[in-house]
Amino acid sequence: MPDFFYNIPAFVVVLGVLIIVHELGHFLAAKMVGVGVIKFAVGFGPALFKRKFGETTYQLSLIPLGGYVRMLGDVPDAITGPQETDEEVRAALVEGTERSRWFIDKGLLAKSWIVFAGPLFNFLLAIALAAFVVFIYGEPDLNSAPVVGKVISGSPAERAGLLEHDLIVSVNGVSPESWKSFAKMVHGSEGRELQVVIKRGATEINTSLVPDLKVIPGAEAEQSKVYLVGLMPEISRSPVGVGQSLYVGVVWTATISVDMLTQLGSMIARERSADELAGPVFIFQAAGEQARKGLEDFLSFIALLSVSLAVLNLLPVPVLDGGHLFFFLLEGIFGPISVRKKESAQQVGMVLLLSLMCFAVWNDITRDPDKFSTQPRWEEKTEKEEGAANQRVEEDLAPAVVGQDS
């Protein structure tokens, strides 16, 4: 089956899960505080499927790049826009519907909870998926023996003849106790040739490695140069219980969230290139690739995107959930803000959001196609990209679940 057609179901599943979970958070939170929900929509544009149960219409639309929950007494915004449901809301008021079920008449805490519940559910999904992966497959351990898990194409290690499952016995006569200690030997080599003894099966083989210098972006626009050989560890796994799995899921989700905020801050400060922003085209390609690699990688990929969606939605940009929360904060401090001001801000926010989306799509279609692949390469990637990928793995800075073989 061609990759394009293989990617379609993977892409639909990824976006479907992320959107449904996000909107389900809004939906359940609204019900919890007694707000009526008129519409639960997945996607935008013309409806492909529509069914009404009780007061709520459940709709699947043509463009699967988002969704929304429309509530009683909700002010139309730049995404949902004026709909036929606006008339239903007015009619409900005439018929005597209690204003207590209107979103706009709820207190700031109740409205904030409804808005925050969407990103919260995405965080919870990421935690659950990360915990599930660790519980099923075990927790990675980089303190295990220095066994080669992957040799990057075109790297010094490949040129030296190293293969997967080779055991690093010694480097310049010193035996590394773990992969981390081996990585430190390579990083501290200063580019000098390393005499390496490997064990392949029952045979010991002598070879030499000459590390390449790679540039790795550091914090606050600083750059560090690290010597690497293009090896990734064979990660052993330790079985863990439910409690430890949940702990790993929480720590991983928190770590990824902080990393994403740091990266966004670096882009805003122009310390990091905005060309790294990826959009739906990249997700389409990557979803299929991760699905082909197996369930573990596919679930990890969904978890990573779920964190991304949560972090993005919490940014204080009008139209996004974070923008609504920011308005609620201002209202709590300074008093009510007029609907007209909110609508004007949302129009500006929509322009910013669409501009960002267009920029991300432009990055996707102008990016080197090889960079869509998550398979590591040595010569085809820039020093910055390949160095960062290997540094995360060799120094055990990578998250425990996602991107183990980046």
The pair of structure tokens assigned to 82 is 């004026």
Contact 226, 391 (CB under 8 A): yes
Contact 388, 172 (CB under 8 A): no
DSSP 8-state assignment for residue 174:
B
Residue among 23, 289, 385, 386 flagged as catalytic:
23
Contact 71, 84 (CB under 8 A): no
Distance, in Å, from the CA atom of 161 to the CA atom of 209, rounded to the nearest integer, reads 10
Q: Is 23 a catalytic residue?
A: yes
Distance, in Å, from the CA atom of 166 to the CA atom of 146, rounded to the nearest integer, reads 9
Region of residue 79 (left: phi > 0; alpha: psi -120 to 50; beta: else): alpha
The residue to which tokens 């935008």 are assigned: 44
The pair of structure tokens assigned to 328 is 């609620």
- Longest CA–CA separation in the chain, Å: 87
Q: Which residues are marked as active site? A: 23
